[in-house]
Amino acid sequence: MLVAWFGRVGSAEDPAPRDASRFLTPGHPSLPSTAVQDPPPEWHEFYFTRAAYSSGGFGRRRASWATDYPKADRQFLTVLRRLTNLDAFESENAVLLTNPRLRDYPFLYALEVGYMALSPAEIQGLREYLMAGGFLVIDDFWGTREWLQFEYQMSLVFPERTIVDLDMEHPVFNTFYEIEEILQVPAYGRFQWGTTSEQDGYVPYVKGIFDDEGRLMVLINWNTDMGDAWEWAEQPNYPLQFSTFAYQMGVNMIVYAMSH
Amino acid sequence: MSEIFEFLFKYRPILFQEGEVSLLSPWPLPVVIGVAAILGVPALLTYLRARGRSSAMDRGILLALRATTLSIVFLIVMQPGLVLTSVVPQRNFLAVLVDDSRSMTIDDADGTSRAEKAAALADPQSPVMQELAERFTLRYFRFSSSTNRVESPAEMTFNGSATHLGAALSYAHDELQGVPVSGLVVISDGGDNADEPIGDALLPLQAVSLPVFTVGLGDESPGRDVQISRVDVPRTALVGSSLVVNVLVNATGYSGQTVPLVVEDFGRIVTTENITLPADGQPLVAPVSFTLETGGVRELTFRIAGLDNERVVENNVRESLIHVRDRKEKILYFEGEPRWEVKFMRLATRADDNVQLVVLQRTAENKFLRLNVDDGLELLSGFPTTREELFQYRALMLGSIEASFFTHDQLDMIADFVSSRGGTLMMIGGRRALAEGGYKGTPLEDVLPVVLEEPDASSSPTDRLVFLRATPTPAGINHAATRVAGSSEASAARWDSLPPVSTTNGIFDLKPGATALLTGEVVDGPGDDRDRVILASQRYGKGRSVVLAVQDTWVWQMDSSIAAEDMTHETFWRQLLRWLVAETPDAVEASASPESVEAGDPVTVTAQVLDAGFVEVNGASVTARVTSPDGGVVEVPMEWSVENDGEYSAMFTPAQDGIFEVAVEARRDSVVLGATESSVRVAPSGAEYRDPQQRRPLLERVAEDTGGRYYTADGVDELPEDLRFTGGGVTVTEERDLWDMPFLFLLLGGLMMAEWGYRRRRGLV
């Protein structure tokens, strides 16, 4: 049903998009090829690495991985470097899921995954990355429809694993900052219209996928858009409580990923 | 040679060594010289005046020959003699000590055992003993692990479990105190296996000039034999630890033969390693790797099956006890910034139930993340500020944390953690570690096993970044920390295939006494391309220091060339962390000495009792609870040995074979300071069969150091006469003529013939 509804999304029997070339490829006009293909110019302990994945849909959805890119990444890194003593590369670092160099960056950020449509090579690359010890943070996807698409994609990566809710006792909420409540962080544009939600995503969730020994491999922020808060934090009309939460949660996720 | 000497000089060399050559003529020497001058000077003048057909050279040669001849005649007239001190017959005692240990039952190549030879030699009816008995009052002793006076050598059993030669000499010396003693005669194969050096026992004998005459029995070559000479089994290990035990094998006559070396844990085979036996005289160190999965006291047996025509098979086996502890060892990892090493080190060791990796991580200025702590109070104030707080950990790892973070007291305390507490300090590479972290010139510089070189102040960490391919050194190939595969070959191949790791710390040189386990070849990076030290360690005081001078071993897990299911990174860190804590002592430590005895032999249990700050405690109540193999329990109070602070000891004597477990608990004012355990293996000892050949150098040394002499079984006939002149006790002076020794007359004849022959040749007859 879902597959039929989306049309371009791979099925369980044939997880590959029918025509991979129509989706994201190196050299796609929306991809800054140097960022994707060249390693960063200098060595640092940490790179805020963005997953460049194939996606379906039309218009900007065809490169949904690049939403808020690179401004959100750079602004977040600026604040991250100021708040912590982490030796972080100051610029964005987008890497294809099929690039072997992905394994050099144990932290990975992906957003707008409601339009994610992974190729078999990407599925394999992401699975091996996570099983080896990589950590994936998901952000900025909304409502039931995008959830189902993301859930389906993750079922291709990990057919045997389920997505579970994280309670507020989980260390990711207190590794650096004490976070007592999950806020719904609105997209900049949506808040101007007087709402924090999109589609039918009214309640924000933090969920996860664990390995057999209980290691959190994938941290899923659903019905929230921290990337927009990082990107538009400097706007006077963007509420401080949301950007503060987004930065705090971002720092927590990274410190957690580097210690757990 | 000795016979020729005796023919020429009338007596054996030892008499010349012991006696003094003197002129025995009753005429005073000035008178004799005067008479010689009266007779000799005219003769000389006559010679000089005679001319005839002779040349000056002829006269000179003939004069020299004649003068020498006359000198010898003169010497003979003066009656040279040998003045000796000889023992008075039947006024002196002589101790005869016969080795009664099991090694005497070993058959020699001639088909008879040393015991048979000893019994024949010590038999009162033997010619040697009869001759000795004519001059001395004989006292017989038998010795092995203990020494006893016996009435007759017939009481020998040759079943002693050990040979304590030094103790036997001291015992016999003490027994004969107060009576004149001419010497001690030792009949033995020299297989001394006492812990004490033999020299200590010889000093009292040297002080009273009491000679020891040793009679060596047994072949001096081991024949065809394989022996497990030593196994380096640690005293304790954590359950599940991968052990690499070095087994020292000696073999004679089986060079190049491949044999299985079997390791058993209470009879269950845990591993079998095929080894190729070395050439004669070349010891082989065979590393054997295995894992012990069961806790408690384990008896390990290392065994090589008996080979064809092997002389002694009892020395093919070696047993050892090991305490396999099933407990959690706490390691503190202090990291100065968020780093991937923290995550991946924790991932690598998360399945290890026996290592508790406590992490204190500085995530921002004065902000710390605590992981894996026991409770909310642990490390609440950051890095420990008291000895009690720090010394609860068994190892300390410092990551990228600058030296200036610590107070001077804290740096001193960390140095004490290694030197006094016996803990392990490991410093991990990073931009704020080692010299780059300002540790040069601090108390920790002395502790570290590597030489810190001041980095170029104008360069950044990125400028100094190099990528290294790690290679195990010869010491690292079979080291418990760096053997990452089942065999040394597989381990070396695995290291070769691992991706490079990076460092910004320039570590090139080791300190004297340090050992490198991993070195790194520079595969990418600017500047100095000399090989770097990656992993090195050294002893420091009671503890150990380690440097791992790279910053991203996590690539051995995450690199795209590594399969997700690959366990190399996990194995490396699991083994490394276990190695860090392997030798760290507890506050209360106990040991039994000896660790292996025979039933009836006493065992001393010694305990070292320290408080939480690892300061010796003298007023403690310490008890050893000894559990015998049949389940019987005896509590033995341990007394403070006044010589050493914090040291307590007690003795017990196991009466049955098996493993005796000793649990030691120390209390002070009803507060338990600590508890520990030790064990003793009680079984027939195989020590007597190790190095089965006669140890002639030891017997020779004992004789030489005391003024005695060494004899083979064939040459023992000379013993009675030697004893007569070299022994102590009641003695008299004895003169023996030397004027009639054949050498003088042969020399005289030779000189006269030479003179006559010269005259014939020169036509001067």
Q: Does A174 touch chain B (CB under 8 A)?
A: no
Examine the domain organization and report whether B357 and B456 are in the same domain: yes
Which residue in chain A is spatially nearest to B359 when comparing CA positions? Answer: A259
Q: Helix, strand, or coil here: B278? A: coil
Closest in B338, B462, B558 to A258, CB measured: B338
Q: For residue A6, is pLDDT > 70?
A: no
Examine the domain organization and report whether B725 and B637 are in the same domain: no
Angle of helix B114-122 relative to helix B127-135, nearest 10 degrees, comes to 40
Q: pLDDT category, A60, cuts 50, 70, 90?
A: low
Last residue of a domain, one of B533, B567, B582: B582
Q: Does A260 touch chain B (CB under 8 A)?
A: yes
Please state whether beta strands A49-52 and A107-111 pair in parallel, antiparallel, or not at all (unpaired): parallel
Q: Which residues in chain B touch residue A175, judged by CB atoms under 8 angstroms apart?
A: 369
Is position B688 within any domain? no
Q: Which residues in chain B touch residue A86, judged by CB atoms under 8 angstroms apart?
A: 337-338, 363
Positions of E strands within B510-597: 515-524, 532-540, 543-548, 588-593, 596-597
Mutation site for A-interface testing, chosen from B334, B343, B524 by largest number of A Cβ within 10 Å:
B343
Q: What is the pLDDT of residue A38?
A: 67
Which residue in chain A is spatially nearest to B351 when comparing CA positions? Answer: A213
Can you say how many angstroms the Cα of residue B9 is from the centroid of all Cα atoms in its chain?
A: 45
Taking an 8 Å cut-off on Cβ atoms, the answer to whether B364 and A84 are in contact is yes
Is position B348 within any domain? yes
Examine the domain organization and report whether B526 and B665 are in the same domain: no
Residue A19: HSE in the Cβ half-sphere, 13 Å Cα cutoff = 3
User: H or E stretch including A71?
Assistant: helix A71-83
Q: Token pair for residue B416? A: 């004490």
Q: Is B183 left (phi over 0), alpha (psi -120 to 50) or beta?
A: left
**CA distance linking residue B484 with residue B470, whole number of Å:** 13
Q: What is the CATH number of the domain that holds B445?
A: 3.40.50.880
Question: B443 preceded by cis ω (within 30°)?
Answer: no
pLDDT, mean over chain A: 86
Residue B428, domain extent: 329-582
Taking an 8 Å cut-off on Cβ atoms, the answer to whether A86 and B338 are in contact is yes
Q: Which residues in chain B touch residue A45, judged by CB atoms under 8 angstroms apart?
A: 337-340
Q: What is the pLDDT of residue B727?
A: 67
Which residue in chain B is spatially nearest to A254 when comparing CA positions? Answer: B338
Dihedral sign for Cα atoms in the order A223, A228, A233, A237: negative
Minimal CA separation from A168 to chain B, in Å: 18
Minimal CA separation from B345 to chain A, in Å: 9
Examine the domain organization and report whether B52 and B106 are in the same domain: no
Angle of helix B742-762 relative to helix B2-9, nearest 10 degrees, comes to 80
Give start and end residues of each alpha helix (H) in B267-372.
340-349
Is position B719 within any domain? yes
Question: Residues B577-605, buried b or exposed e (16+ Cβ, 10 A)?
Answer: bbbbbbbbbebbbbbbebebbbeebebeb
Q: Rounded to whole angstroms, what are the CA distances from B727 to B313, B706, B722?
A: 41, 11, 8
Backbone Cα Rg of chain A: 17
Is position B689 within any domain? no
Closest in A132, A213, A258 to B564, CB measured: A132
DSSP B78-89: T-EEEEEEEEPT
**CA distance linking residue A165 with residue A179, whole number of Å:** 16
Taking an 8 Å cut-off on Cβ atoms, the answer to whether B369 and A175 are in contact is yes
- Spell out the domains of chain A, with CATH numbers in brackets: 2-257 (3.40.50.12140)
Degrees, nearest 5: CA angle B507-B364-B501:
30
Q: How many domains is chain B built from?
A: 5
Taking an 8 Å cut-off on Cβ atoms, the answer to whether A84 and B347 are in contact is no
Examine the domain organization and report whether B369 and B253 are in the same domain: no
Taking an 8 Å cut-off on Cβ atoms, the answer to whether A258 and B565 are in contact is no
Closest in B339, B365, B367 to A258, CB measured: B339
**CA distance linking residue B503 with residue B506, whole number of Å:** 8
Taking an 8 Å cut-off on Cβ atoms, the answer to whether B558 and A132 are in contact is yes
Question: A70 preceded by cis ω (within 30°)?
Answer: yes
Helices (H) and strands (E) in chain A, counts: 8, 7
Which residue in chain B is spatially nearest to A252 when comparing CA positions? Answer: B363
Please state whether beta strands B633-640 and B647-652 pair in parallel, antiparallel, or not at all (unpaired): antiparallel
Q: What is the pLDDT of residue B64?
A: 87
Number of C-beta neighbours around residue B368 at 10 A: 17
- In one letter, which amino acid is B17? Q
Please list the rounded mean pLDDT of every run of 10 residues in chain B (765 residues).
Answer: 83 80 80 80 75 77 85 84 79 92 90 92 92 91 92 89 92 90 93 89 92 94 90 92 93 94 95 94 92 93 93 92 94 98 97 96 96 96 97 98 98 98 98 96 97 87 90 94 91 96 95 97 83 96 97 97 94 96 95 90 95 94 96 95 94 95 94 94 88 92 94 90 77 82 90 90 80
Whether ipTM exceeds 0.85? yes
Cβ atoms of B738 and B82 within 8 Å: the answer is yes
Cβ atoms of B171 and B184 within 8 Å: the answer is no
Taking an 8 Å cut-off on Cβ atoms, the answer to whether B560 and A45 are in contact is no
Q: Which region among A13-27, A48-62, B258-272, B723-737 has the lowest average model confidence (pLDDT)?
A: A13-27
Taking an 8 Å cut-off on Cβ atoms, the answer to whether B560 and A100 are in contact is yes
Closest in A102, A213, A259 to B342, CB measured: A259
Is position B675 within any domain? yes
Q: Which residues in chain B touch residue A134, judged by CB atoms under 8 angstroms apart?
A: 558
Taking an 8 Å cut-off on Cβ atoms, the answer to whether B359 and A46 are in contact is no
Is position B687 within any domain? no
Q: Return the residue matching tokens 């998360």.
A: B350
Cβ atoms of B145 and B160 within 8 Å: the answer is yes
Laid out side by side, the sheet with B20-23 consists of B20-23, B80-87, B731-737
- Dihedral Cα A21, A112, A171, A239, nearest 10 deg: 150
Q: Does A45 touch chain B (CB under 8 A)?
A: yes
Which residue in chain B is spatially nearest to A124 when comparing CA positions? Answer: B564
Taking an 8 Å cut-off on Cβ atoms, the answer to whether B361 and A259 are in contact is yes
- What residues does B593 pair with on adjacent strands? B604
Q: Token pair for residue B262? A: 């079997």
Q: What is the pLDDT of residue A246?
A: 98
- Dihedral Cα B741, B745, B746, B752, nearest 10 deg: 160
Q: Which of B468, B560, B335, B570 is nearest to A105 (CA)?
A: B560
Cβ atoms of B504 and B431 within 8 Å: the answer is yes
Q: Which residues in chain A touch residue B351, judged by CB atoms under 8 angstroms apart?
A: 213
Closest in B336, B347, B369 to A133, CB measured: B347
Q: What is the pLDDT of residue A26?
A: 42
**CA distance linking residue B540 with residue B329, whole number of Å:** 21
Closest in A45, A102, A133 to B344, CB measured: A133
Examine the domain organization and report whether B390 and B494 are in the same domain: yes
Taking an 8 Å cut-off on Cβ atoms, the answer to whether A257 and B343 are in contact is yes
Q: What is the CATH number of the domain that holds B673?
A: 2.60.40.10
Examine the domain organization and report whether B315 and B386 are in the same domain: no
Taking an 8 Å cut-off on Cβ atoms, the answer to whether B560 and A101 are in contact is yes
Q: Which residues in chain B touch residue A42, judged by CB atoms under 8 angstroms apart?
A: 462
Q: What is the CATH number of the domain that holds B130?
A: 3.40.50.410
Examine the domain organization and report whether B745 and B613 are in the same domain: no
**CA distance linking residue B150 with residue B154, whole number of Å:** 9
Is position B411 within any domain? yes
Question: Residues B497-514, buried b or exposed e (16+ Cβ, 10 A)?
Answer: ebbbbbbbbbbeebbeeb
Cβ atoms of B572 and B553 within 8 Å: the answer is yes
Taking an 8 Å cut-off on Cβ atoms, the answer to whether A133 and B343 are in contact is yes
Examine the domain organization and report whether B521 and B449 are in the same domain: yes
Is position B163 within any domain? yes
Q: Which residues in chain B touch residue A178, judged by CB atoms under 8 angstroms apart?
A: none
Minimal CA separation from B380 to chain A, in Å: 15
Which residue in chain B is spatially nearest to A256 when comparing CA positions? Answer: B343
Examine the domain organization and report whether B592 and B673 are in the same domain: yes
Mutation site for B-interface testing, chosen from A42, A87, A215 by largest number of B Cβ within 10 Å:
A87
Cβ atoms of B332 and B397 within 8 Å: the answer is yes
**CA distance linking residue B114 with residue B97, whole number of Å:** 14
| pLDDT tens readout for residues A76-133 | 999 999 999 999 999 999 999 999 999 999 999 999 999 999 999 999 999 999 999 9
**CA distance linking residue B214 with residue B716, whole number of Å:** 9
Long-range contact list for A148-153, CB < 8 A, 24+ apart?
A148/A2, A149/A2, A149/A6, A149/A9, A149/A113, A149/A114, A149/A115, A149/A116, A150/A113, A150/A114, A150/A116, A150/A220, A152/A2, A152/A3, A152/A9, A153/A113, A153/A116, A153/A117, A153/A118
Number of C-beta neighbours around residue B258 at 10 A: 9
**CA distance linking residue A156 with residue A97, whole number of Å:** 14
Q: For residue A28, is pLDDT > 70?
A: no
- Chain B positions contacting chain A at CB under 8 Å are 336-340, 342-344, 346-347, 350-351, 359, 361-365, 367, 369, 371, 431, 462, 465, 502, 554-555, 557-560, 562, 564-565
Taking an 8 Å cut-off on Cβ atoms, the answer to whether A255 and B350 are in contact is no
Q: Which of B236, B242, B274, B278 is nearest to B258 (CA)?
A: B274
- In one letter, which amino acid is B695? R
For chain B, what's the residue count?
765
Q: Rounded to whole angstroms, what are the CA distances from B639 to A130, B135, B310, B550, B674?
A: 59, 50, 48, 49, 16
User: H or E stretch including A135?
Assistant: strand A135-139
Which residue in chain A is spatially nearest to B567 when comparing CA positions? Answer: A132
Q: What is the 3-state secondary structure of B367-427?
A: EEEEECCCCCCCCCCCCCCCHHHHCCCCEEEECCCCHHHCCHHHHHHHHHHHHCCCCEEEE
Last residue of a domain, one of B533, B550, B582: B582
> Under 8 Å CB-to-CB from B731, ≥6 apart: which residues?
B85, B86, B87, B88
Q: What is the pLDDT of residue B721?
A: 85
SS3 content of chain A, % helix, strand, coil (to 5): 40, 15, 45
Q: For residue A2, is pLDDT > 50?
A: no
Cβ atoms of B191 and B101 within 8 Å: the answer is yes
DSSP B103-152: GGG-B-TTS-BHHHHHHHHH-TTSHHHHHHHHHEEEEEEEESSSEEEES-
Examine the domain organization and report whether B709 and B671 are in the same domain: no
Q: Does A87 touch chain B (CB under 8 A)?
A: yes
Taking an 8 Å cut-off on Cβ atoms, the answer to whether A254 and B338 are in contact is yes
Closest in A100, A101, A213 to B351, CB measured: A213
Taking an 8 Å cut-off on Cβ atoms, the answer to whether B338 and A100 are in contact is no
Q: Which residues in chain A touch residue B346, judged by CB atoms under 8 angstroms apart?
A: 259-260
Which residue in chain A is spatially nearest to B466 when comparing CA positions? Answer: A43
Q: What is the pLDDT of residue B567?
A: 96
Examine the domain organization and report whether B716 and B742 are in the same domain: no
